[in-house]
Amino acid sequence: MSARVLVVGAGPAGLSAAISLLLRGVPVTVVDKAAAPHTHPKAVVLWPRALEVFERLGVAEALVAGGHPLTSQHYHSNGTRVASLTFRMLRHTKYRYALAIPQHVTERVLRERLTGLGGTIRANTELTALRQDATAVTATLTDLSTGEHTEEVHDWVIGADGVRSAVRTAIGVEFTGQTYEQTFLLSDGPCETDLATDAAHYFMTDTGVLVVVPLPGGQWRAFISAPREIPEGEALAATVERVTAARSPVPVRFLDGHTAGRFRIHRRAAEQVWRGRVFLVGDAAHAHSPAGAQGINTGVEDATSLAWRLAGVCLGSSSAADSGRVFAEWAAERHQVVRNVLRDTDLQTRLWGVRGLRRRLRDLVLSGAERTTLLDRVVTPRQTQIDQRYRTAPGRARPVSAGVLRSHARLPNVAIPTTATGTAHLHDFLSMAGPVSLRFDPVGTPGRRTEVRRSTDPETGFDVVSLTGPALRSALGISRRVACLVRPDGIVAAVASHTALETEGEVLR
Ligand SMILES: Cc1cc2nc3c(=O)[nH]c(=O)nc-3n(C[C@H](O)[C@H](O)[C@H](O)COP(=O)(O)OP(=O)(O)OC[C@H]3O[C@@H](n4cnc5c(N)ncnc54)[C@H](O)[C@@H]3O)c2cc1C
């Protein structure tokens, strides 16, 4: 019988994990303690890297159709614009913008995809206990409508059950870090304002921060650090409106129909994201400030970069002996990403609140970074996770580069003029089913267009895509024959000459 995988939590991370596994033909059970999908105001921004992941899950088109593109972020200090970040210099991605889309819409699109693949979500079902041994995991699931407990045995469990993860507690993993002192308030709804509708607006003031983000359908998100004093009895949306008026130099008038919420933010990470047969992804593994909007984006990457490995183990293409190494590599990569995300979001949160001399210094650095294009060259690729690269694991080869290709880094989605389809993007050749060997020959067939041939490597069983033509020189910055092995999550496992890749193939199988 196929391995059984239990996904606890049907938020963006759990849904992404479940869809990825179903796409590989691995059966999954998804449970969620909520009775029905929520409509709370939560995340509103998806970055290009998350959209690339969603493209592989088959939902990017629906998300883009339901979202609103943002092409810049403007930072103001006490009413004066100090810097803007844009996507002008972002290269080799189809998504040169951030997508503003309410989280519940993203989740709806993911749920529809899951259902379309034959998956279901058992609502009203809470994981209340879990124990594991070397061969299986036993989960106690409580039906919240009847109070009945059942025990189910699964081969693997993915804990995607959010910041208060019961899975994390059950496996005894600490969630270390701090909760920030500051409380934040937000309100979503229609507004009347002259603020640009293609940008996110940050207003850093001596009394606190205000972030205003346009959403699809004429809606807006206003997000504030809570003022010291809130008059008793004032409705949350009214507080947000009052503070917004005080911190924004451009009037923002709230129209009827605003929802509002209050929340504390954390800087915490699970000490381990993998223990035995149990994994932690999304907010169960890390919680950080919404500054930089990294939550969903990091969570879906946790989930999908786990899923292809877990599918390999479930379907028997990774041996049992290999599985430990495969999961250790995943955990090491995620720790590295989470450490960076925690550091960046914490820095941004602290920079929001500096005063006096430090404020002037912050503003000078920001405007200098804009002038020298540092923000667009370095910060935008980092924030959008487009420059994603992993440090090499001990014992593995050091990163190798050839033109824009680099091992242990995201495959740039370079557009190539081809003989068959007009234009192909490198990500079009990726496969959820396993690593793909891309072989580039810029010295072969003459002519402007690139010829694409597909085959299977008889040794490794990997799909091989061979691209031949001189256009590869300028597109990829290479002048010799180069091959790279690309994982299903779009990370280049190895860059080498055509024949030298076979050794790395052994490692990925
Ligand atoms: C105000 C705000 C703004 C934000 N803005 C952004 C942004 O712009 N961009 C961004 O990327 N991120 C943002 N985030 C963060 C983002 O919302 C989270 O990172 C994201 O929801 C995490 O997804 P998840 O799937 O890991 O967990 P969740 O979305 O928390 O989902 C967990 C699911 O598990 C279920 N569950 C919990 N316990 C159990 C149990 N014991 N048994 C069964 N089911 C269980 C819950 O019902 C829930 O459905 C924001 C968050 C907030 C609060």
The answer to whether the CB of 49 is under 6 A from ligand 1 is no
Ligand 1 atom at shortest distance from the alpha carbon of 281 = 26
Span 488-497, average pLDDT? 91
pLDDT at 454: 94
CA of 11 to the centre of ligand 1 (A): 6
pLDDT, position 149: 97
**Structural domains in the chain plus CATH codes:** 5-36+102-173+272-351 (3.50.50.60), 178-265 (3.30.9.10), 401-508 (3.40.30.120)
The fraction of the chain above a pLDDT of 90, given in percent, is 80
Dihedrals phi, psi of 81, to nearest 5 degrees = -70, 130
**Nearest CA owner, ligand 1 atom 5:** 43
Spatial CA neighbour of 126 closest among 37, 31, 38: 31
The residue among 85 and 443 whose pLDDT is bigger is 85
Beta bridge partners of 482: 440
Quick one: pLDDT at residue 99?
98
Query: Which of 133-137, 263-267, 316-320, 504-508 shows the lowest per-residue confidence on average (mean pLDDT)?
Result: 504-508
Report CA(10)–ligand 1 centroid distance (Å): 9
SS3 14: helix
Q: Which of 177-191, 445-459, 480-494 has the lowest mean pLDDT?
A: 445-459
329 lines ligand 1 (CB under 6 A): no
- Going from the Cα of 263 to the center of ligand 1, the distance in angstroms, rounded, reads 13
Is 102's C-beta closer than 6 angstroms to any atom of ligand 1? Answer: no
pLDDT average, residue stretch 5-24? 97
Q: What is the pLDDT of residue 156?
A: 97
Which candidate, 265, 273, 308, places its Cα nearest to that of 289?
265
Q: How far is the CA of 68 from the centre of ligand 1 (A)?
A: 21
Q: What is the mean pLDDT of the chain?
A: 92
Residue 188, token pair as written in the block: 């979503």
pLDDT at 41: 84
| Model pLDDT for residues 294-345, shown as the tens digit of each residue | 889 999 999 999 999 999 999 987 666 788 889 999 999 999 999 999 999 9
Across 269-303, b (16+ Cβ under 10 Å) vs e yields bbebbbbebbbbbbbbbbbbbbbbbbbbbbbbbbb
Is the pLDDT reported for residue 501 higher than 70? no
Whether 432 has a pLDDT exceeding 90, the answer reads: no
Q: What's the pLDDT at 398?
A: 77
For 419, counting Cβ atoms within 10 Å of its Cβ (0-12 exposed, 13-18 middle, 19+ buried), the class is middle
Q: In the block, which residue shows the tokens 């179903």?
A: 22
pLDDT grade for 505, boundaries at 50, 70 and 90 = very low
* pLDDT for position 509: 40
Is the pLDDT score of 277 beyond 60? yes
Q: What confidence tens digit (pLDDT) does each residue in 211-232 have?
A: 999 999 999 999 999 998 889 9
pLDDT at position 419: 80
Q: How far apart are CA 81 and CA 75, in angstroms?
A: 6
DSSP letters along 98-164, please? Answer: EEE--HHHHHHHHHHHHHHTT--EETTEEEEEEEE-SS-EEEEEEETTTTEEEEEEESEEEE---TT
Q: Which residues contact 418 (CB under 8 A, 6 or more apart)?
A: 424, 449, 450, 451, 452, 467
Four-residue CA torsion sign, 466, 386, 294, 243: negative
User: What is the position in ligand 1's atom list of the atom closest to the CA of 14?
Assistant: 25
Q: Are 295 and 16 in contact (CB under 8 A)?
A: no
Q: What per-residue confidence (pLDDT) applies to 241?
A: 96
For residue 292 and ligand 1, the question of a CB distance below 6 A is answered with: no
Question: Ligand 1 test: best mutation among 16, 19, 30, 103, most atoms within 8 Å of CB?
Answer: 103
504 vs 199, residue with greater confidence: 199
CA of 468 to the centre of ligand 1 (A): 45
From 130, 182, 221, 283, the mutation candidate for ligand 1 (largest count of ligand atoms within 8 A of CB) is: 283
According to the model, what pLDDT value does residue 39 have?
84
Question: Would you state the pLDDT for residue 506?
Answer: 42
Q: Please state the rounded mean pLDDT for residues 133-156.
A: 96
Residues 98-132 pLDDT 10s = 999 999 999 999 999 999 999 999 999 999 999 99
For residue 97, the model assigns a pLDDT of: 97
Task: For residues 51 and 298, give the distance between their C-alpha atoms in angstroms, rounded to a whole number.
Answer: 12
pLDDT in tens, 364-411: 999 999 999 999 999 999 999 898 888 766 666 678 899 999 999 999
Is the minimum distance from the CB of 10 to ligand 1 under 6 angstroms? yes
Give the position of tokens 């609140």: 353
474 CB contacts (<8 Å, ≥6 apart)?
A: none
Question: What percent of the chain shows pLDDT beyond 70?
Answer: 95
Angle between helix axes 48-57 and 12-23 (nearest 10 degrees) is 40
